[in-house]
Amino acid sequence: MKPSRLTLGLALLILAAVVGAVLLGESVFDRGQWAQAFADPGSGPGEVLWQVRAPRVATALMVGAALGLAGAVMQGLLRNPLADPGVLGVSAVAALGAASAIVLGAAAVPGAVEVSALVGAGLAGALLILFSSRVRSPEALILFGVALSSFAGAATALIFNLSPSPIASAEVMGWLLGSVQNRSWIDVAWVTPPVLVSAVLAAFAAPGLRMLSLGEETARTSGLPMARLRLLALLAAALATGAAVAVAGVIGFVGLAAPHLVRGAVRGDPGRLLAPAALAGGLMLIIADLLARLTPTDQELKLGVFTALVGAPLFALIAWRAAREWRL
Amino acid sequence: MAGRPGVETVTAFLTMCDADASLGGRTVLDGADVQVETGELVAVVGPNGAGKSSLIRAFAGLLPLTRGVVRLRGDDITTLSSRDRAARVAYLPQERRIAWNLPAIEIAALGAPFLSAADAAAAARAALEEVEADHLADRGVAEMSGGERARVLLARALATGARGLLVDEPIAGLDPDAQLMVLERLQARARGGQAVLVSLHDLTLAARYADRVVVLDQARVVADGRPLDALSPEVMAQVFGLKGRWITGPDGPLLAAGRRQLAG
**Beta pairing, strands B212-217 & B220-225:** antiparallel
Q: CA-to-CA distance for B115 and A124, rounded, in angstroms?
A: 36
Q: CA-to-CA distance for A98 and B248, rounded, in angstroms?
A: 77
How many CA atoms lie within 13 Å of B216's alpha carbon, on the beta-carbon side? 30
Contact between B64 and B225 (Cβ < 8 Å): no
Angle (CA) A214 A219 A221, round 5°: 125
Q: CA-to-CA distance for B107 and A39, rounded, in angstroms?
A: 55
Cβ–Cβ contact A4 with B under 8 A: no
Q: Which of A80, A221, A262 to mutate to test the interface with B (most CBs of B within 10 A)?
A: A221
Query: In which band, very low, low, confident or very high, does the pLDDT at A328 lie, cut at 50, 70 and 90?
Result: very low
Residue A107 has pLDDT above 90, yes or no: no
Residue A25 belongs to some domain of the structure: no
The DSSP code for A163 is -
Per-residue model confidence (pLDDT) at position B24: 87
Structural domains in chain B plus CATH codes = 9-259 (3.40.50.300)
pLDDT single digits (tens) A9-63: 999 999 999 999 999 887 778 888 888 888 888 888 888 889 999 999 999 999 9
Report the amino acid identity of residue A263: R
Residue A256 belongs to some domain of the structure: yes
How many CA atoms lie within 13 Å of A135's alpha carbon, on the beta-carbon side? 13
B161: closest chain A residue by CA: A222
Question: What residues of chain A, 101 to 160, have a C-beta less than 8 Å from chain B?
Answer: none
ipTM of the complex: 0.91
Report the amino acid identity of residue A49: L
Which of A79, A221, A224 is facing B62, going by the closest CB pair? Answer: A221
Total structural domains in chain A?
1
pLDDT single digits (tens) A302-316: 888 888 888 788 778
Residue A8 belongs to some domain of the structure: no
B104: closest chain A residue by CA: A267
Residue A94 belongs to some domain of the structure: yes
Residue A29 belongs to some domain of the structure: no
Q: Which residues, in sequence order, are bridge partners of residue B168? A: B199
- Mapping DSSP onto H, E and C, the string for chain B reads CCCCCCCCHHHCCEEEEEEEEEECCEEEEEEEEEEECCCEEEEEECCCCCCHHHHHHHHCCCCCCCEEEEEECCEEHHHCCHHHHHHHEEEECCCCCCCCCCEHHHHHHCCCCCCCHHHHHHHHHHHHHHCCCHHHCCCEHHHCCHHHHHHHHHHHHHHCCCCEEEEECCCCCCCHHHHHHHHHHHHHHHHCCCEEEEECCCHHHHHHHCCEEEEEECCEEEEEECHHHHCCHHHHHHHHCEEEEEEEECCEEEEEEEECCCCC
Contacts of A156-164 with C-beta under 8 Å, sequence gap 24+, read A156/A92, A156/A95, A156/A96, A156/A99, A159/A96, A159/A99, A159/A100, A159/A103, A160/A99, A163/A103
Which of A207, A223, A268 is facing B101, going by the closest CB pair? Answer: A268
CB contact under 8 A, B99 and A269: no
Q: Which of A218, A226, A230, A321 to mutate to test the interface with B (most CBs of B within 10 A)?
A: A218
Cβ–Cβ contact B144 with A under 8 A: no
Residue A27 belongs to some domain of the structure: no
Q: What percent of chain A is modeled with pLDDT above 90? A: 44
Instruction: Name the residue among A292, A307, A310, A306 with its Cα closest to residue A26.
Output: A292
pTM listed for this prediction: 0.90
Domain range enclosing A46: 39-325
User: Stretch A241-263: mean pLDDT, rounded?
Assistant: 90
Q: Greatest CA separation found in chain B?
A: 67
How many CA atoms lie within 13 Å of A94's alpha carbon, on the beta-carbon side? 33
Q: What percent of chain B is modeled with pLDDT above 70? A: 94
Q: CA-to-CA distance for A172 and A151, rounded, in angstroms?
A: 17
> Residue A63's domain is classified under what CATH number?
1.10.3470.10
Residue A30 belongs to some domain of the structure: no
Rama region for B161: left / alpha / beta (φ>0; ψ in -120 to 50; rest):
left
- Residue B167's φ and ψ, nearest 5 degrees, are -125, 115
Query: In which band, very low, low, confident or very high, does the pLDDT at A322 lie, cut at 50, 70 and 90?
Result: low
Helix (H, G, I), strand (E, B) or coil at A142: helix
Residue A31 belongs to some domain of the structure: no
Q: CA-to-CA distance for B222 and B232, rounded, in angstroms?
A: 11
pLDDT in tens, chain B (264 residues): 444 444 444 569 999 999 999 998 999 999 999 999 999 999 999 999 999 999 999 999 999 999 999 999 999 999 999 999 999 999 999 989 898 999 999 999 999 999 999 999 999 999 999 999 999 999 999 899 888 999 999 999 999 999 999 999 999 989 999 999 999 999 999 999 999 999 999 999 999 999 999 999 999 999 999 999 999 999 999 999 999 889 998 888 999 888 876 554
pLDDT single digits (tens) A128-154: 878 877 776 777 888 899 999 999 999
Helix (H, G, I), strand (E, B) or coil at A41: coil
> Which residues, in sequence order, are CB contacts of A75 under 8 Å at separation 6+?
A81, A82, A83, A84, A259, A270
> Which residues, in sequence order, are CB contacts of B30 under 8 Å at separation 6+?
B20, B51, B218, B219, B220
User: Stretch A208-213: mean pLDDT, rounded?
Assistant: 96
Instruction: Name the residue among A25, A18, A31 with its Cα closest to residue A47.
Output: A25
Q: CA-to-CA distance for B206 and B41, rounded, in angstroms?
A: 10
B93: closest chain A residue by CA: A218
